[in-house]
Amino acid sequence: MVEMETETETEAQVHEHRHRLLEGMAHAVAAKGYADTTIADIVREASVSRRTFYEHFSTKSECLIALYGAASHNALKVLRDSIDPAHEWQAQIGHALTAYLGCMAQNPVLMRTLFIEILGLGTEGLQARRRVNREIADFILTVVNAKGSRQEGEPLTDDMAMAIVGGINEMILQYIEQDRVASLQDLVAPSSALVRAVTRA
């Protein structure tokens, strides 16, 4: 029984250290930007040792990719939670996008890092972005093609779902480049129109 409790504590500590490192990366990036952030900055913000960092990540870029995945999954969870299966998704588009974009607008500096600087990591960064886009597209397919959701026409295709994700991402990128992350809610209307246009195609 004692061994089981000790193992559980160790697992909890591992999870806690990883969470703190991701939080540390987020705070460091928000303060200095990714390029100027060092591993020393990350461990200081996380209140852990450099050794602990290397127990979880091999490089700073690996930590950034993990942060990208965690932040993206959090935004996707907000999107999922905003959809009520008891109601038609068509009537919930605006509410869902408001929640999703609102979540993203909470940290402008972090958003720039996750949407723009992640691509500077090369193949690894691109693959991370594609994985997240794939998850969002799969969510859209599930919601739109759910039984009883499509009142007319053919089911939404994979390519069309990816077109929605790509279109909304490009609008978000434009706002980030223009330092307008605080105004991401302005994209609710055009994003809603895009979703409706594609799903009617």
Dihedral of alpha carbons 175, 119, 73, 7, sign = negative
In which residue ranges of the chain is CATH 1.10.357 found? Answer: 61-200
Contact (Cβ atoms closer than 8 angstroms) between residue 121 and residue 64 = yes
The C-alpha atoms of residue 124 and residue 46 are separated, in whole angstroms, by 24
Residue 5 binned pLDDT confidence (cut-offs 50, 70, 90): very low
Yes or no: say if 42 and 24 are a contact pair by the CB < 8 Å rule: yes
| Check whether domain 61-200 has CATH 3.90.1690, yes or no | no
For all residues of the chain together, what is the average pLDDT? 88
Calculate the alpha carbon distances from 81 to 85, 131, 158 in Å.
10, 20, 22
Provide mean pLDDT across the span 69-94.
Answer: 88
| Highest-pLDDT range among 6-20, 44-58, 72-86, 117-131 | 44-58
pLDDT attached to residue 138: 94
CATH 1.10.10.60 domain locations along the chain = 1-57
Q: Check: CB of residue 47 under 8 Å from CB of residue 20.
A: yes
> 């992350």: which residue's tokens?
181
Q: Which residues contact 172 (CB under 8 A, 6 or more apart)?
A: 101, 104, 115, 184, 187
At residue 125's C-alpha, the angle toward residues 60 and 138, to 5°, is 130
CATH of domain 1-57: 1.10.10.60
pLDDT confidence of residue 163: 95
Cα four-point dihedral sign 31, 34, 35, 37: positive
- For the CA atoms of 93, 97, 100, 106, the dihedral, rounded to the nearest 10 degrees, stands at -150
- The pLDDT tens digits of the residues spanning 112-153 come to 878 888 888 889 999 999 999 999 999 999 988 886 555 556
Amino acid, single-letter form, for residue 161: A
Where is average pLDDT lowest: 15-29, 78-92, 141-155? 141-155
Confidence of residue 6 (pLDDT cuts 50, 70, 90): very low
Residue scoring higher pLDDT (58 or 34): 58
What value does the mean pLDDT take over residues 79-87?
87
What's this model's pTM, rounded to 2 decimal places?
0.82
The residue with tokens 């599930």 is 142
